[in-house]
Every structure is written in structure tokens, then in C-alpha cells.
Structure 1
Amino acid sequence: MSKENNTFRKFNLDKEILKALNNLEYKRPSNVQTKTIPQLINKNDVIVKSKTGSGKTASFAIPICENINVEDNNVQALVIVPTRELALQVKEEISNIGRLKKVRCCAIYGKQPIKEQISSLKQRVHVVVATPGRIIDHIKRETINIKNLNYLIIDEADKMLNKGFIEQIDTIFENLPKNKTVGLFSATIDEDIEYVCKKYMNEALIIDVEESEAINEKQIDENLIRVDQNEKYNTLKNIIYSENPKTVIIFANTREKVNKIYNQMKRDKFLVRELHGDMSQDKRIYVIKDFKENKFNVLVSSDVAARGIHIENISLVINYDIPRDKENYIHRIGRTGRKDKFGKSISIVTDKDEKYINEIQDYIGYKINEIEKIDEDDIVNGKIKFEGSQIKILKNKRNKDINKKSHSEVTRIYLNAGKKKKIRVLDIVGSLSNLKEINGDDIGVIEVCDLCSYVDILNHKGEQLLKNYKQINIKKKPVKIKRDNQNI
């Protein structure tokens, strides 16, 4: 096999998509991507059975971005997901993959002001990621135009249909054009999914990615350690010190337990944050953003982060509590060992957990390696190193180069004028194009809000623009420009 046949080049993708994938360090397609991308590019309906960690988001994001006509202002793809967290994660991945091609994606979900969403949908939006209830709301209000839709993707279909969303899925399908490509992604295929397939899909190809393919056992070193209940917290600390991970996610089964571990670790001077369902949406988003930007390195989470939260380079996952749902074990450990990276998971098992750990081992089909004892020297030496790494993180806390790492040729700029000053996308394009440093090809995705606007400046032109101008004229009025450091 030639070298090129083992990369994303074999799909004959748009050069801007390939460039974006390279920037994002997508090196080789995973099994699910190899099997799914050509089918969706060729507009064939698919049902994809695949577990977390397999790269399934990119397997539909890449074909969607490839086939988007960026000159067409209509919504061309709709992705339905069960939760707000997943909506934001999928939106981020699609936006990153399509960024250099100028594909604009937005996420709409409940508990977000509908006026903001209506305003966003009035701008050029090519892809919408939505939760079922909120997309139906927009369909009924006629605030979204889906007459030219080419793709409908239903992600985490098993979780959605299990939650009783089947009537909502019916409503969505009934309001979409008949001539579209449907992709359905699920961990399992049950009768609800077969119902959707028979009723709405056209000779769908079933792509079944085996468990061992979805999470490569060699990429995740799975372990367990048996302890008494009263030794759990000390064992947790000893694991962290002896392993000295760059980043670690600790999973607990309840919000209360998450909060208790978080407070204990904070008292013990760990650089730690918590993530659970009782937190506001905005706070959860910023916790994830700060974790990605390496502003802290220990995250204690409930299962809200086990599914749909894609944070690369997690060194270690610790199951402080053994999950009661065996599938959640796979979702949790799938936070590490992503893409071509290697990771480790350690589960802390007490007498009460024996039943659940046995169920998990039956489910995954192999015995998890048991650690008999943690070496005392490893704990002592590791503690010095780990505390040193936390001091370095505190020193670098102002580091905001996350977007530079992804797309170094893109600079996102902030303009202090928006809709309330009658500014439109065309006005911004016109003003920027009149500058000697910029031409139309250098202007990427533009977002116009009520009081401000954001613009992607491509092709390494942003730095010079910001150096030369502190303000530009839009509609004959001075508008201040600066780098956007708040981009998530």
C-alpha cells in the first residue's frame, strides 16, 4: 500500500480540508473514517455502529465539509445530537475541519436564548448542530430554512431514541426534503433504529466497527486496583503521584461525589476543577476550554464528560467510582488514547464494586490488568515531579495559544460593531477587501453579533493587519479591531 493510501489524501478531498486536517493533526483515517467517509461523500445513506473514541465525528464532519457549497447561504447539513455538550463539541470539530474552506457551523440547543439563535441562523450558516427539541422549535417558527438540506446526521442515535425522542425524530424527518443523505451513528442497533432505517432511509449500508477497532486495546493500557473503601482517596492521590500524568480525568458516579473529591483535592493543593450537571452551561464550557488550554491538569467529572467531550492528550483516566452502566466504562476510558495517542486508565475497585467490574469485563471480553501495589518510591519521586509540573502550569496560566496550534495561518479578530450599528457581513467584507493587506480569499468565517463582530483572517495575514490597524472604517464609521482572545 502506498503511503498516500494510508492518509486522508486517498479520499480526494478539497485542498483546504486536507490542510485543515493536517493542522489538526489528523494523520491517518481510523477504521470508521475509512469505511464511512467515501459513502457519505458519494451521498449514500449509512448506519454506523461504532463506540466512542473511534473518530466517528470526523467521519461525518469531513464529508459534510467536503460537499458544502460555501457560496450557497442556505443550511445544507443538519446534525442532531442528544445533549448541549455534544452539540458544542460537534460544532467545534466541524468548524475546525471546515474553517479554511470557510464553512460556517452553528450549534442550537435548549436553555440558550432563542433570539440569539434566530439572529445566528439569519447569517450565512452552512451546517447546524442541534438538539431535537430546539430544532423542532425553529422549524415551527420557520426561523430555519432547510429546503435545500443535503445531509441529515443523527449522532448517538441509541441514546436519543432510548430517551424517547422517537416522536421528535419523526417530526424532524417529516419537515425535511425527501432527497437527502442520511447518516445514523449508534453504539447499538435496536428496533427503534431499524424503525428509522425502514421508514426514512434509502437502502442504507450498515457499517459495523468492532469494539476492538473502536478502542484499540494497545492504545489504552487498562488497569484496576483493589482497595478498602476507606483507602480510596489516598489511593487516588498515590495513583496520580506515581503515574505523574500531564492531564488526568477522575470519574465519579454522582454530582455530590464529584464535589466532595474536588474539595478534598483543592485542600490538598491540586490544580483541580469539577464538571457536573448542576453547573451552568456557560461554566461547563469554560471549564472544558480551560482544561484544553492547560490552565489546570486535574478534572473531576460525572458522566456528563464521558460522552461527547473531546479533549485531546488526556494522559490518564481514573475511575474513582466504578460505573454502574457497563457502557459508560468504555465512554470514560475513551477520553484517553484518542487518535494516534496512547493513554492509561486505572479503576479503583472496592468490595461493593465486584459485581460491576465483573460485568464490565464480561462486556469488553477480556480481563483488566490488576495492579497489586503502588511502589512507594514511585509515589515519593512522582509527587515531586507532579507538583513541579503544576507550578509550571500556574506560571503559564495566561497562555492562550490554543487556536494558534490548530490553525496557525488563521487569526480571529474582534470588531466593536455589530447589528445594532446596522453592520452586515457584506459591509465587513467590503471594508476589509479595501485594505491593501487583504483580499477576498483572506477573509474567512464572519459572525455578526448585536454589539460586536468576529472575523477569521486567513493565510497568515491577520498578524500584519493587527500591526497596521487599530481601527478600520465600516460604513464610514471608525470601528476598533483587536485579536479575539476569548474564542472557545
Structure 2
Amino acid sequence: MKSQTGSGKTAAYAIPICEKIEWLENNVQALVLTPTRELAAQVREDIANIGRFKRIKSLALYGKEPFAIQQDELKQKTHVVVGTPGRVNDHIEQQTLDLDQVKYLVIDEADEMLRMGFIDEVEAIIKQLPANRVTMVYSATIPEQIEKLCQQYMGDPIKVDIPSDDSSGSIEHRLFEVKRDEKLALVKDVTIMENPDSCIIFCNTQERVNEVAVELEQEGYTCDQIHGGLEQDKRFSVMEGFKSGEFRYLVATDVAARGIDVDNVSLIINFDIPREKQSYVHRTGRTGRAGNRGQAITFVTPTEERYLQSIENYIGLGLTVNEAPSRAEVREAKEAFNQKMAERRIVKNNKSARINQDIIKLHFNGGKRKKFAQSILSVRFPIFPMSQQRI
């Protein structure tokens, strides 16, 4: 299925998979492959939320997490595994992941799998799966090599191409022509003028992400940064903070561009124009999601015109050139900007928080079965000492 980002691709496969899962079976019945750890964690959470009332158990497998812990979790009832190709292959090689009963395979963000060089690992995984499975491929773009993969491993594949509705105005694409050394000043002026509820600023390198984030923090912005050089726990912590409204501005490399769903991101800024035209689609797809309106602003220097032309040809529309705001305009807008910056962002539709708000989770770990049973009995039927019973 080819469809623009934010159109509900995850729900398109997660809902029918959860419906088809046989809860009593103690086998992995569905495998979802994703290109990044963040996307794997998000998809696992989405599947858990969708399958909540059926008690579907989903597990995320990705690198930089202890292998032994994942191995122990796989010994428990697991209906759906969501993982990155590298770590899934590790578990297959160590014979800690049994895929003999997999009925459904999903390859999510297939074009990014190709770009990141995961296709060989994906093919190795496919060869370990039952031949009579259902295979689904989802992506915002379908390159030729992905088409060949579908033809090779899918029987009579049906292609579903959902056209983009950008022409209807869900995302307004704008352009600022700027010199390289004037970008930092421009990003501050533009964000003051736009004053978004939340914003993602994309850069091409980790060094540039750090440079922009430090500059904005010094100017009083509530912001944080995320890139591939951070420890995994830190990356998850940053994304959770952004989703929950702890800060309004996220400065990121393309690690945050793929499939990450954050409520009410109204502005995307390409501080550095992406070198690959597909990356522009995925970056700007973080806004204007699920029928909402959004803006995508791109900074381009005189030496980057060739990338701009490639992007415009690819998306089928020209980016509207804008003049930089004047000093007077920025001064006039600064008070409203400062007022919003002093307030915590209101998250209007945090799906997981809304679903979990009335649920209390109890986690039991360790101990013998007899002790565990006694603990449950004590919770349900409090056992008092003999002296208290006599009183």
C-alpha cells in the first residue's frame, strides 16, 4: 500500500491483525518489520492499544537493548512481534524467536528499509517464514526495488495507491532563500512569527542539531534534541517528553522523520534541505496528519538549488517563496511568542494516555509460584494475624 504519511497505515494493518489473532495460541502469529527503534516502539504501543480488549500481547525487538531480557519476554505468550531487521535476525540465528506459526508479515516504511540498507536482512527473514502467510508492504513511496521485492515474495500482489491530498491544503509548503550563516537568525524570526503549538526542526547532521538546539535553549525556547548519536533510553525519553508536551520545539535528524506520530505538530522547518527527495515527504509528513492543517517551511541556500528542484518535481508542486520577516514584524510578534513559551503545551489527543487513564497496572516479578499465588490471594482476600481476627 502506498499512502501519504499520517493517513493511518498502522491502523490499516493493526486492526485486522488484532481481529484475526487467536488469543489461546502461544505462538508468534504476526511479524511487523520497521526501519527504526522509535517506530518499532510506537507500532508495538499502537497494536497493544488496538488489541487491548482482546488482550493481545505485542513485543518490540530492537538493538541497544539487552538481548537476554528480550529472550525472556519471548518465552512468554507473545502474539505480535514488532522489530528492526537486525535484531529480529539476531533472535532467529540464536533460535530464540520461533516464526513457524507466523500468519501475517508486515513491512512498514519499506522505502526507508531500502535507503538504510536493510533489504538483504528483510529477505533473509522472509525466507524463514511459512510460505502460506499474508504479506503486506506499507510505505509513503514505493521505489522500483521495493516493487521487485513484492513481486518476488508475494503471490499476485494487489497494489493500493491512495493519492496524496496535499493539493487540498492540508500542508502549506513554503520556502525561504537564505545564506548559510543567516539560518540561525532566520529560524528564530520565523518561529516567533509563526508561534506554533509545537514544531520539529530538521537538520542533516548531529552536529547541526546540537548547534541549533543550544542556540534556541540560550534564547529561552523550550526545546530538546534527538539524533542517532544519543543513547536509546535518551531518545525514547526525548520523544516521550515531546509527545506529552514537556517542550514545544524538537530539533532532530531524520531519525524523527519516519512514522513518528506526535499530536498537533503544526510546523515543520527544514533547517537543512534534505538531500533525498523521499526524506522531504517523510519530514513534512509529521504535520498535517489525520486531516489537520500544517505548514512545512524549508530553508535553501544558493548552493542547494539542485535539491530543491528535485523535491519540487517529486512532490508535483512548487514551494512558495517567502520574504524574511522584518525587524518590526518580529518585535510586534515577540510578546505573544514569549507568553506561549511560558505556558506548557496542551496535548489534545495523546492516544495512549487517554486509553490508559482509568487503568491500574500491577507488575509482579520473581518469586516462586506458591508465593505469587499467595500474593494474589492476599490482595483479593486480606489475611490478618490471628490476634486481629479475634478482635
Q: Is the 8 A contact 1:241 1:378 kept in 2?
A: no
The whole-number CA distance in structure 1 between the counterparts of 2:151 and 2:315 is 30
The whole-number CA distance in structure 1 between the counterparts of 2:307 and 2:122 is 33
Structure 1 counterpart of 2:57:
104
Q: How big is the shift at 1:97?
A: 1.8
Structure 2 counterpart of 1:65:
18
Return 215-224 or 192-201, whichever deviates more: 192-201
Structure 1 counterpart of 2:212:
261
Q: Say which of 243, 263, 267 aligns to 1:292.
A: 243
Q: Is the 8 A contact 2:36 2:255 kept in 1?
A: no
- Which string of whole-angstrom CA distances, capped at 9 and with x for unpartnered residues, describes residues 188-221 of structure 1? 44554344334332221111223x24x5651111
Q: Secondary structure at the match of 2:54?
A: coil
Q: Say which of 299, 309, 313 aligns to 1:362.
A: 313
Structure 2 counterpart of 1:411:
359
Q: Which structure 2 residues correspond to residues 189-204 of structure 1 after superposition, within 5 A?
A: 189-190=142-143, 192-204=145-157
The whole-number CA distance in structure 2 between the counterparts of 1:236 and 1:82 is 30
Return 243-252 or 224-233, whichever deviates more: 224-233
Q: Say which of 293, 303, 308 aligns to 2:254.
A: 303
Q: How big is the shift at 1:406?
A: 2.4
Q: How big is the shift at 1:186?
A: 3.4
- Which string of whole-angstrom CA distances, capped at 9 and with x for unpartnered residues, describes residues 361-382 of structure 1? 1221111122224255552343
1:67 and 1:283, CA in 2 relative to 1: closer, same or farther beyond 3 A? same
Is 1:329 the equivalent of 2:280? yes
Q: Which runs of 5+ in 2 are unaligned?
A: 384-391
Tell me the amino acid that sits aligned with residue 36 of structure 2: T
Q: Which runs of 5+ in 1 are unaligned?
A: 1-47, 437-471, 474-488
Q: How big is the shift at 1:123?
A: 1.6
Q: Is the 8 A contact 1:249 1:317 kept in 2?
A: yes
The whole-number CA distance in structure 1 between the counterparts of 2:100 and 2:375 is 27
1:435 and 1:414, CA in 2 relative to 1: closer, same or farther beyond 3 A? closer
Q: Is the 8 A contact 1:258 1:300 kept in 2?
A: yes
Question: In angstroms, what is the RMSD of aligned CA positions?
Answer: 2.7
The whole-number CA distance in structure 2 between the counterparts of 1:82 and 1:91 is 13
1:240 and 1:64, CA in 2 relative to 1: closer, same or farther beyond 3 A? same
Q: Secondary structure at the match of 2:237?
A: helix
The whole-number CA distance in structure 2 between the counterparts of 1:286 and 1:85 is 11
- Structure with the bigger percentage of strand: 1
The whole-number CA distance in structure 2 between the counterparts of 1:162 and 1:403 is 30
Q: Is the 8 A contact 1:404 1:410 kept in 2?
A: no
The whole-number CA distance in structure 2 between the counterparts of 1:199 and 1:428 is 55
Structure 1 counterpart of 2:386:
none
Tell me the amino acid that sits aligned with residue 253 of structure 2: S
Is 1:180 the equivalent of 2:180? no
Q: Is the 8 A contact 1:238 1:374 kept in 2?
A: yes
Q: Is the 8 A contact 2:5 2:289 kept in 1?
A: no
Q: Which structure 2 residues correspond to residues 212-361 of structure 1 after superposition, within 5 A?
A: 212-213=164-165, 215=166, 217-361=168-312
Q: How big is the shift at 1:404?
A: 7.0
The whole-number CA distance in structure 1 between the counterparts of 2:311 and 2:23 is 46
1:187 and 1:247, CA in 2 relative to 1: closer, same or farther beyond 3 A? closer
Q: How big is the shift at 1:116?
A: 0.7
Q: Say which of 334, 354, 358 aligns to 1:383.
A: 334
1:227 and 1:106, CA in 2 relative to 1: closer, same or farther beyond 3 A? same
The whole-number CA distance in structure 2 between the counterparts of 1:134 and 1:273 is 28
1:195 and 1:231, CA in 2 relative to 1: closer, same or farther beyond 3 A? closer
Q: Is the 8 A contact 1:320 1:348 kept in 2?
A: yes
Return 125-134 or 383-392, whichever deviates more: 383-392
Structure 2 counterpart of 1:123:
76
1:135 and 1:236, CA in 2 relative to 1: closer, same or farther beyond 3 A? same
Q: Say which of 78, 82, 86 aligns to 2:39.
A: 86
Q: How big is the shift at 1:282?
A: 0.7
Return 241-250 or 71-80, whichever deviates more: 71-80
1:348 and 1:429, CA in 2 relative to 1: closer, same or farther beyond 3 A? farther
Identity fraction in percent: 41
- Which string of whole-angstrom CA distances, capped at 9 and with x for unpartnered residues, describes residues 209-267 of structure 1? 23x24x56511111112233332211111111111111111111111111111111111
The whole-number CA distance in structure 2 between the counterparts of 1:350 and 1:170 is 40
Is 1:143 the equivalent of 2:120? no
Structure 2 counterpart of 1:422:
368
Q: How big is the shift at 1:171?
A: 2.5
Q: Which structure 2 residues correspond to residues 21-36 of structure 1 after superposition, within 5 A?
A: none
Q: How big is the shift at 1:354?
A: 2.0
- Which string of whole-angstrom CA distances, capped at 9 and with x for unpartnered residues, describes residues 91-148 of structure 1? 1222222223321111101221111101111122111001122212222322223222
Q: Secondary structure at the match of 2:291?
A: coil
Q: Which structure 2 residues correspond to residues 395-410 of structure 1 after superposition, within 5 A?
A: 405-407=353-355, 410=358
Higher relative contact order (CA 8 A, sep 6+): 2
